[in-house]
Amino acid sequence: MGQKVVFLDIDGTILDHDKQIPAATKAAVKQLQDSGVIVSIATGRAPFMFQDILEELSIKSYISFNGQYAVYNGEVIYQNPIGTDQLEKLTAFSVDHNHPLVYQGVDDMKSTVTNHPQIEEGMGSLKRNHPLMDTEYYKNQPIFQVLLFGEPKEQQLYQEAFQQLRFVRWHPVSCDVMPQNGSKANGIEKFIEALHINWEDTYAFGDGLNDLEMISKVHTGVAMGNSVEEVKEAATFVTDGVDQNGLSNAMRKLSLIQ
C-alpha cells in the first residue's frame, strides 16, 4: 500500500454549523495521523484564518485560498498569486460598479471600504470581523484571493469582463476571486506531485461549490450530507451531515479508521 493522503475542507466539513469541531472528527483525525495517513486541510480560507484549527488538530499541511497556496509539513511547496495588473483592473472595475472588495494575503486581509453591511454579513458567517480598510494593500504583498461582494447576478458582469480570473460563490453576498487556473484540485495536484503520491491513495471531503473540482479530482471524493447538490453528484459517495458525524462515519466506511 502507498502513502495515503486525506484532504479536508473546513466550513461544513471539519467545522459544524456552530463553527465547532465535533469530538468524533477530532478522534478520527488523530486516528488517521497515528496510522501514518497525511491529513491536509483544503480550504478557501487564507492561512491566518485557520491557524487555531491546525493547532487543535495538530495538522501541519494545508492547501489554502482554494488551491493558490500549498504547505506540506510547515514548508511552502506551491504559490500562485493574482497578478498585480489584474488586481488593479479589478479594483477600478469594482469602484465603478460600487462593489466592495477584500484583498487576502497570507497573514492578513484588507477591504476597499469601511463598515459595509455585505462584508459584515459574509465575514460574520465565518466568525470574523470586518477587515480594516486599505485600498493600496494589493500593491505591497502577494494577494492570492479577493472576496468580491455583491449579488449572484452581479457576479456575471465580472465574469464577462475578467476572463483571466475565476469567480466562485461561497456566500449569498460574496464570491471568491482567484486566477483562472485556481481551484482546490490544482493545489492538490501540485501537492501530490511534490510528494510523489499515487492518485489511488487520495481522498477528499467537502460540501461547497469550491469543493467540486477537488471531489472530482481525487480517487475517492466524499460529499458531506449537507453538501450542495453539484458536489453530491460529483462524489464517490455521500456521507451523513457534519452534525451527524459524517466525516468519521465516512472514514470508517472507507476503512481509513477503525
Residues annotated catalytic, as ranges: 9
- Residue 253 is placed in which grid cell? 466506511
Burial degree of 255 (CB within 10 A; 0-12, 13-18, 19+): exposed
DSSP letter assigned to residue 133 = B
Tell me which residue has cell 500500500.
Answer: 1
> Shortest CA distance to 53 belongs to which of 69, 66, 64?
64
User: Is the Cα dihedral 40, 106, 46, 27 positive or negative?
Assistant: positive
Show Cβ contacts of residue 216 under 8 Å, excluding neighbours closer than 6 positions: 185, 234
Number of alpha carbons in the 13 Å side-chain half-sphere of residue 70:
21
Spatial distance between the Cα atoms of 116 and 101, rounded to a whole number of angstroms = 10
Tell me which residue has cell 485557520.
Answer: 50
Helices (H), the chain: 23-34, 51-57, 84-96, 117-124, 152-161, 184-195, 212-217, 229-234, 246-253
